[in-house]
Amino acid sequence: MERLNRIVGHLGSAGVEAKECRSLRLPLALRDIKHKLHLPTYKMRMMQEELFKEMDKGLEGKEWTSVLMLPSFVMRREVRAKSGVYFALDLGGTNFRVLKLTLKDSKVIDAKQSKYKIPLEHVVGGTSDGLFGFIADSVAKFIDGSDVANPPLGFTFSFPMKKASLNSGILVRWTKSFNTKGVVGKDVCALLKEQFAKKGINMGVTAVLNDTVGTLVTDYFEDDRAMLGVIIGTGFNVAYWERVRNIPKYMRENPNADPNATMCINMEVGNFDSPHKKVLKYVSNEWDEMVDAASPNKGLGLVEKMVSGLYMGEIARYALLELKQKGLIAGLNGALENKNGFPAWHLSGCLEADDNVLSGVKNLLKNNYGVQTTLEERTHIRHVCDWVVIRSARLAATIIGSVVLKAGYEWDCTVAIDGSVFEKTPNYPLLLQEGFKDLFGSQPYNIRCVLTKDGSGIGAALSAALMSK
C-alpha cells in the first residue's frame, strides 16, 4: 500500500493532471482506511486465546491481569414469587437516577423514577462529600418525606469495584471521565451511608453492582437461559454466571461457600490487554492511539475505546480527517479538526436506511455542519462510518463469543445487551451474529442477543429482590 502511494505521489510530481491523480489516490486511501479497521477471523481467535488466559488469571487472583473478573456476590437463584417495594439508585454517567419498583410474583407492576443531572463540579475534580451528598439530596427529594423503613435497595455503581460482600464496593479506578477525589480505594456504600445518616434517610444498600450485572439479572427474571449481561453504549463490559468452584480467589476468602453455587462475575473486560497490547497491537491503528492519548485514562480501557459509542465517533473523525488532508473530501466546516467534532450519533445517522443518492446523509451533514456534499463524498463518509461500526461489532462478538465458549454456554445462551450502540446503530445486532459465525467457524452454537432495557435501574432493584430474604 505504501509503495502504491509513493507511485501516485511520483505521478503527481511528474505533472500528471490533478484529477487523474485523485482518481488513483482515492481508492488507495479508502482501501488503506478499510484495511486499518478490518478485523479478520485469525485476529479474533488470537484475541480469544489471550482472553482465556486473562480470565483464568483473573479468577485465580494471584497475579496481575488486565481483566479483573470481579465477584459480584449476586448469586444465581431460582426466581421465586417476589412481591414488595424495592428501590434502586443508578450512578454511571452524568445523570443520576432514583427508582421505586413494586413487584408482584416477581413481575414489575409499578415503577416510578426521577433523574437528576450531576453538577460538573462533582464529576471533574470534586470531592466524595460533594458527589455522595448530591446523591443523598436527590434521594431525599424523591422520597419527599415519605416514611421509608430501610427497604431493599440496589445501588448500580457502574465503575470497577472490588467487593468483599454483597453490599460493599471499593472503587478500583474511575472511568467515563469521572475523577472525583477521595473515592478511589474507598467503600462507596460506606460513603453513601454516611451521607444518608447526615440527611436523616433511613435506607441502606442491600446490593451494590454495576450496570452489566444489573442487565443480566433483569433478563434473568424473564429468561433463565440468560447467561451473559453486556453493555455496548458509552462503555463496554460483560458479566456472566460462573460456578463458584471456578473462582479460586473467592473460595480462598470464603472457604465455606457452596462450590456448586453460581455467581455473577463482572469482568471489566473493556480493559482487556491494556496497557501491554500483547494482541491488540495487531488490531489497533494510529487513530486508536490518538484517541487513547487524548483520553483521561491513557493506556487503560483500550478495547472499550475501540468498541463503545464514546469513542467510535472520534475514530471515524480521524479517518475522515485523513481523507480531507489528502484532498479527497471537502471536510465538515472545521468539525473534523476538533475533538468530538463528529459524535457517534452522527456516525449512526450516516448508516440509516437511505435512498440511492443518500439524501439522509446529505441532510444530516447539511443540518449539523452546514455543508453541501457530493454523492461521492457522502458515499465515502458512509463507508468510513460502516467500517468503524463493523470493527466495533466484531471486537464485541469476539469478547462475548469467547466468554460464552469459556463458560460452556454455547449450546443455548441468551445474551442480554443494553446500550445505545447495540440499540440504535443500524445493523449492529446482525453484525454481532456475523462475528459469532466467523469466530465459531464450524463449531455449533446458539447465541441469542436480546435488547434488555434499563439494567442499571430496574436491574439494581431486581438484584436487591433476588438477594433479599
Q: Which H or E run contains 293?
A: helix 286-293
**What is the number of other CB atoms lying within 10 angstroms of the CB of residue 238?**
28
Torsion over CA of 69, 70, 76 and 80, rounded to 10 degrees? -150
Query: Grid coordinates in use for 56?
Result: 483464568
Contact 236, 307 (CB under 8 A): yes
Helix (H, G, I), strand (E, B) or coil at 71: strand
- CB neighbours of 59 closer than 8 A, spacing ≥ 6? 69, 242, 246, 247, 248, 249, 265
Contact 266, 239 (CB under 8 A): yes
Residue for cell digits 465477584?
71
Contact 230, 237 (CB under 8 A): yes
Query: Torsion-angle region of residue 345: left (phi > 0), alpha (psi -120 to 50) or beta?
Result: alpha
Q: CA 101 from chain center: how many Å?
A: 25
Which amino acid would we find at residue 30?
A: L
Identify the pLDDT of residue 1.
52
Decide: residue 249, CB within 10 A, 0-12 exposed, 13-18 middle, 19+ buried.
middle
Query: Grid coordinates in use for 461?
Result: 432493584
CA 180 vs CA 127, 130, 210, 234, 439: distances in Å: 5, 9, 18, 19, 40
The verdict on whether omega for the bond into residue 275 sits within 30 degrees of 0, i.e. cis, is yes
- Per DSSP, 183 falls in state -
- CB neighbours of 50 closer than 8 A, spacing ≥ 6? 272, 273, 278, 279
Instruction: For the chain, give the number of residues.
Output: 469
Residue 29: which of 448, 380, 454, 420 has the closest Cα? 380
Query: Grid coordinates in use for 383?
Result: 463507508
Round to whole Å and give the CA distance between 208 and 463. 9
Residue 314: which of 333, 288, 334, 293 has the closest Cα? 288
Query: Torsion-angle region of residue 342: left (phi > 0), alpha (psi -120 to 50) or beta?
Result: beta
Helix (H, G, I), strand (E, B) or coil at 100: strand
Across the chain, which has 469 residues, the per-10-residue mean pLDDT values are: 52 52 78 97 98 98 95 90 89 88 87 92 92 95 80 90 90 86 95 94 91 94 95 94 97 95 96 97 97 92 96 97 92 94 96 95 96 95 97 98 97 96 97 98 95 90 88
Residue 86: which of 109, 66, 65 has the closest Cα? 109
Query: Grid coordinates in use for 191?
Result: 460513603
Identify the pLDDT of residue 11.
44
Round to whole Å and give the CA distance between 408 and 248. 18
Decide: residue 35, CB within 10 A, 0-12 exposed, 13-18 middle, 19+ buried.
exposed
Round to whole Å and give the CA distance between 406 and 348. 32
Residue for cell digits 479527497?
328
Residue 451: which of 133, 213, 250, 215 has the closest Cα? 215
Decide: residue 99, CB within 10 A, 0-12 exposed, 13-18 middle, 19+ buried.
buried
Round to whole Å and give the CA distance between 203 and 395. 41
